[in-house]
Amino acid sequence: MRRPLVMGNWKLNGNKAVIEDLIKGIDIELNGVEGVDIAIAPPVMFLDLAKQLLSQVQSKIILGAQNVDVNLNGSFTGDISPRMLKEFGTTYVIIGHSERREYHAESDELVAKKFASVKESGMVPILCIGESNAQNEAGETLEVCTRQLDAVIKIQGVDALNGTVIAYEPIWAIGTGKAATSKNAQYIHSAIRAHIAVQSEEVAKNVIIQYGGSVKPENAAAYFTQPDIDGALVGGAALNAKSFAVIAKKAATAKDLIYSRTQFIGKNII
Ligand code: 13P
């Protein structure tokens, strides 16, 4: 059975004091909450600090990174290798976030190679996919999402998605407050799962598909009560311990009920 994952992507925010406050705040809010995996992705400079702080708190909060280089080592000035992230206690690595694709011209192929490199280094990639506003208005959402996904399947095979995470993040919903409706998000999630199921029902059944884009305490439950939405990748609202905790708690409650009621058939379109 899938387990929901709520992850805070802190992007380029924070300093030592903010990181400490956030981690301690999240711990207080989420201590004892079961039924959801909770992760944070601080800026890479603060991974070591975060790791130390996480070892001192009660809650199980998993460490993630926001990006990584494709190479394991070598003459790549300024880059950070998957092995280094692993050594610093990282479990999840966000790959192909739309901000990386846009501001750093990351191609589907490069993202697919990073996916492989992260897996080989013993961590879990979170593969971000999603369409722009123009693509959405042109009705190209599924075409874009499946193309981004197929880039990974092409070089790695569908089984490579086993034990990994996909994050559907429509670009027009990121940081805009204009979130996708839960029904529309469910439709895309279900279609992504069905696309994977064509090659492997087993992989499709088990892969976690998060939604990301203006997830807030107020709208979180609507996503988590959809059968194919397995958690959230949260930006802005993750920078507030209380808001982030409310979202994570809603995932724990809603998913417990939904997973026990719905069986995956790749056709959970409602
Ligand atoms: P917001 O929650 O701020 O829209 O950001 C979403 C995101 O990009 C998470 O990776």
pLDDT one-digit tens code per residue, 34-89:
999 999 999 999 999 999 999 999 999 999 999 999 999 999 999 999 999 999 99
Q: Which domains does the chain have, with CATH numbers?
A: 5-261 (3.20.20.70)
Three-class HEC string of the chain = CCCCEEEEECCCCCCHHHHHHHHHHHHHHHCCCCCCEEEEECCHHHHHHHHHHHCCCCCCEEEEECCCCCCCCCCCCCCCCHHHHHHCCCCEEEECCHHHHHHCCCCHHHHHHHHHHHHHCCCEEEEEECCCHHHHHCCCHHHHHHHHHHHHHHHHCHHHHCCCEEEECCHHHCCCCCCCCHHHHHHHHHHHHHHHHCCCHHHHHHCEEEEECCCCCCCHHHHHCCCCCCEEEECHHHHCHHHHHHHHHHHHHHHHHHHHHCCCCCCCCC
**Ligand 1, atom 5: nearest CA belongs to which residue?**
235
Known binding-site residue numbers for substrate: 9-11, 175, 214, 235-236
18-31 tens-digit pLDDT? 999 999 999 999 99
Q: pLDDT at residue 195 above 60?
A: yes
Give the model's pLDDT for residue 16.
98
Give Cα 92 to chain centroid, integer Å.
Answer: 9
Q: pLDDT at residue 144 above 50?
A: yes
Q: Ligand 1 pocket check: which of 132, 233, 246, 247 to mutate, most ligand atoms within 8 Å of Cβ? A: 233
Distance CA 247, CA 6 (A): 8
**pLDDT averaged over every residue in the chain:** 95
Catalytic amino acids?
Answer: 97, 169
Q: Find out whether the beta carbon of 214 lies less than 6 Å from any atom of ligand 1.
A: yes
Give the model's pLDDT for residue 261.
66
Q: How far is the CA of 196 from the centre of ligand 1 (A)?
A: 24
- How many alpha carbons lie under 13 Å from residue 214 in its C-beta half-sphere? 15
Query: Could you give the angle at the alpha carbon of 111 between the alpha carbons of 232 and 140, nearest 5°?
Result: 70
Average the pLDDT over 172-190 and give the result.
97
> Based on the number of CB atoms within 10 Å of its own CB, is 259 exposed (0-12), middle (13-18) or buried (19 or more)?
middle
Average the pLDDT over 168-183 and give the result.
97
Q: How far is the CA of 75 from the centre of ligand 1 (A)?
A: 32
Give the model's pLDDT for residue 52.
97
pTM reported for the whole predicted model: 0.95
Q: Give the pair of three-digit tokens for residue 226.
A: 């959809």
Which atom of ligand 1 approaches the CA of 237 most closely?
2
Q: Ligand 1 pocket check: which of 5, 6, 9 to mutate, most ligand atoms within 8 Å of Cβ? A: 9
Which atom of ligand 1 approaches the CA of 215 most closely?
2
- Residues near 245 by Cβ (< 8 Å), separated by ≥ 6? 26, 29, 30, 33
CA separation, residue 108 to residues 72, 105, 203 (Å): 19, 10, 21
Model confidence band, residue 256 (pLDDT cutoffs 50, 70, 90): confident
Q: Give the pair of three-digit tokens for residue 39.
A: 């992760």
Q: pLDDT at residue 270 above 50?
A: no
107-120 tens-digit pLDDT? 999 999 999 999 99
Give the model's pLDDT for residue 269.
45
Q: pLDDT at residue 266 above 60?
A: no
Q: Find out whether the beta carbon of 9 lies less than 6 Å from any atom of ligand 1.
A: yes
